[in-house]
Amino acid sequence: SERQSRTVPLCAGEQHSRVSKPDAPRKSAFLMMKERAASRYRLTLEYIGTSFHGSQRQVGRRTVQAELESALAKLLPRQSPPPVAVFAGRTDAGVHALGNVVHTDLVRADKSGRTQLPFGEAALLGALNYFLGERIGVVGVRRVPPSFHARHSAVRRTYVYQLRCLCTLTAPSAAGVLRSESCQSLLRRGWVSSLDAHRVLCVPHPLDVDAMRAAAHLLLGVHNFSAFRSVRCSANSPMRELLKLEVIEEPRSALDEFVDECPRRLSICVCSRSFLHNQVRFLVATVLEVGLGRRDLSWVETLLQASDLRHSPQ
């Protein structure tokens, strides 16, 4: 039978009609058992981003999330709804990952729908790597409590830009062409060797590493990074704490003897609990502008005092 409406007086001359809602339908015992049987897993991924349009799922595009969820669906075809992968952070098209953390909730069931014991960590790792393509690898699996969240539980995020820049040495090669000239030609093309293809940022000029480190030091700590975010950034506050911004000169490897002293190998390491949209790119661009001699340290201080994007590094 329908429940009757009743009138509740709010104040003099005003009344409000309230209808009691019917009791919510109770979940079936099977559904409740299924929810209790869900196990949350923390996955650590490595991937080569060259073939993907970023990590986040996009309609009609190949992404890391879509590939991973497809592998999970093949592994658990009877799970409904299908497994969803939640990433700790997004990566853009072409960006690689060495340790992007993901969580997902999995329910094993047999053909009759009865729940089974959860996957063992080693078994899940092997099964996912079997279904995934060669450009994505699961390098770690851990069963975690339901309170763990890949994004909200993250304590820091780290990005590394690898650079190849021009050396100032001009020793002639055996062919009579200055090594710096041949190196600069390749760097202008955005390519140095097949081993660096799609993995490094090529800068066809010498860089002042000391100046870059001085600029990086100014950016450390808590600042208003309004000038270091995209116009599409939806963050409520531009305040962020930059934990690390280091310019590292990489040691020479065994392969460097084949290319003499060219090119110079640098890395820029950026670390924070969270970043604004495109903040890492703006930080790296700022340090490079100073390293190229186009800007000085006072310009960096001006950026930190700016409240909009008009002074943003390009």
Task: Kindly tell me the number of DSSP H helices and DSSP E strands found in the chain.
Answer: 7, 11
The DSSP code for 214 is H
Active site residue 296: no
Q: Which of 23, 92, 105, 196 is catalytic?
A: 92
CB 99 within 8 A of CB 88: no
Q: Whole-angstrom Cα distance, residue 271 to residue 280?
A: 9
Query: Strands 86-87 and 157-165: what pairing?
Result: unpaired
CB 229 within 8 A of CB 272: no
CB 93 within 8 A of CB 110: no
Radius of gyration of the chain (CA): 27
Q: Whole-angstrom Cα distance, residue 269 to residue 219?
A: 13
Smallest CA-to-CA distance from 39 within 138, 141, 144 is with 144
The H or E element spanning position 104 is strand 97-106
Structure tokens given for 53: 């349009």
Q: Whole-angstrom Cα distance, residue 308 to residue 286?
A: 16
- CB count in 10 Å sphere of residue 300: 20
CB 45 within 8 A of CB 136: yes
CB 45 within 8 A of CB 139: yes
CB 237 within 8 A of CB 276: no
Catalytic residues: 92
